[in-house]
Structure 1
Amino acid sequence: MPRAVYKNVDGYCVPQAFNEECVRSALNYEPQPEDLFIVSYPKCGTTWTQHIVYNILNDRPPPNIVADFRRKMPFLELKGAQSLRDMSRPGAIKTHMPFRSTLFSKHARYIYVCRNPYDCCVSFFYHAKNKPDHQFADGTFSEFFEMFVEGALAYGDYFDHLLPWYERRDDPNVLLLTYEGLKKDTAAWVLKIADFLGENHGTRLRADPVALNEVLARTSLETMRQMLSDGEKTSLKERLSYEERAPQWVKDAGEVTTLLRKGIVGDWRSHFSADQVKRLKDRIALKTRGTDVMSLWDDCDLP
């Protein structure tokens, strides 16, 4: 049975493309008071949130060249802690690292983005299938589902990632939002994000509906999909530029698709079998016992 191929760096599972020293520097990074993190499990709305934050802070869209975008809003474990020292401020730091004491500081700020596990599983499947560094091009959804329910994926188990941040949702330096909520009422959540970034940002957007509508237009999924479609194709080759001999999957990187796929809620219905629904329900019951975390999706008609 094909399985996506990852590597373990000091207990943290990452795609093959990641530089081990960059990952280690990320794991050991101590957050600074000026740091703003956008944290999520993969395929839960990270890129969308990055674009919203950048637009609010800079009143313009981010650069559509992948390398430039990552310099403005670095991916911590991909580029390493040095990238944070070189980034433009104000800006946000992307990470998929699970909650850990070294990452969390009461002095830094965190936007945590989560998505229901059914849709997350489907979206992550397509991501792994279309990203050469996951080496899963011939994998099926059934095979990926087995890895998801086992928690045997890059960045770890979905529930182990979500639950510690859910417990911190009321901390003053944490803003927890769901992909589904952002999709349902984007304007309301853009304003909440703006308030979290600084009262002046929320006040400005409320006083200027034109500015708010411009943020909404620039961060629509169609607009972002167009921006990312060209630059994303070169990202893996750029990512592994330190390698003298790139493996075949790097040479195939020109075939990758954009980070954004359908961007809809409920796509899981066209992928899950009845048995898979039951098994994920059982996994949810096991992993979330004693919490009300699934109430985040009470209005999403989940099984």
Structure 2
Amino acid sequence: MKAEPRENVLKIAKFLGQSYYDRLIEDSSYLQNVLRYSDVSTMKQYTNDSLAQFLANPLPAGEEIPDGLKVLHKVTQDAPSDAKLVRKGVVGDWKTHLTPEMNDRLNRKILEKLAGTELPQLWKRHGIM
């Protein structure tokens, strides 16, 4: 996605359905919006700002809120944090949070589950595996 965002967005659109692909091709403003709003810096700002706003304010009365969000809200009210849902946007950064043994185990599991697909080779080409 990071190397060729336009091409990959179009591939995803085509996978989801020809009508999505056609709309992006016929009206470039749609494609530009998808590219702009799926950019890591935009997602980081919007998502993290929205999360901070959600956690800073009381839950709205009378609205149906999933239990998981209620628990998250309560826990953060008791012990506020500066948690971020969107962090760096660095490809493969998750590897820095695992031990070498954990990375090896995860790579084996990924290769096992994705056997027969082109994803492992694609990921290796981009330095993810």
Match in the other structure for 1:240: 70
Q: Structure 1: where are the runs of 5+ without partners?
A: 1-181
Q: Secondary structure at the match of 1:202?
A: helix
Q: Which amino acid aligns with 2:51?
A: E
Match in the other structure for 2:104: 281
Whole-angstrom CA distance in 2 between matches of 1:263 and 1:281: 22
Equivalent positions of 1:88-237 (< 5 A) are 182-233=1-52, 234-235=54-55
2:86 is the alignment partner of 1:260: yes
Q: Deviations over 1:156-212 (max 9, x none)?
A: xxxxxxxxxxxxxxxxxxxxxxxxxx2222212211222233322211211233331
Q: Secondary structure at the match of 2:90?
A: coil
Q: Structure 2: where are the runs of 5+ without partners?
A: 60-68
TM-score (norm 2): 0.62
Given the superposition, is the C-alpha separation of residues 196 and 288 from structure 1 closer, same or farther in structure 2, using an over 3 Å criterion? closer
**Cα distance, 1:226 vs. partner?**
1.9
TM-score (norm 1): 0.31
Q: Secondary structure at the match of 2:2?
A: helix
**Cα distance, 1:220 vs. partner?**
1.5
**Cα distance, 1:260 vs. partner?**
0.8
2:126 is the alignment partner of 1:297: no
Q: Which amino acid aligns with 1:259?
A: L
Q: Which protein has the bigger helix share?
A: 2
Q: Which protein has the bigger strand share?
A: 1
Q: Deviations over 1:188-241 (max 9, x none)?
A: 221122223332221121123333123211221212222223220225974227
Q: Which amino acid aligns with 1:284?
A: N
Greater Rg over alpha carbons, structure: 2
Whole-angstrom CA distance in 2 between matches of 1:222 and 1:215: 13
Given the superposition, is the C-alpha separation of residues 198 and 266 from structure 1 closer, same or farther in structure 2, using an over 3 Å criterion? closer
Identity, in percent, stands at 25
2:70 is the alignment partner of 1:251: no
Q: Which amino acid aligns with 2:125?
A: D
Q: Give the aligned length.
A: 114
Q: Which has the higher contact order (CA 8 A, sep 6+)?
A: 1
Q: Which amino acid aligns with 2:84?
A: T
Whole-angstrom CA distance in 2 between matches of 1:294 and 1:279: 18
Whole-angstrom CA distance in 1 between matches of 2:49 and 2:97: 31
**Cα distance, 1:297 vs. partner?**
1.2
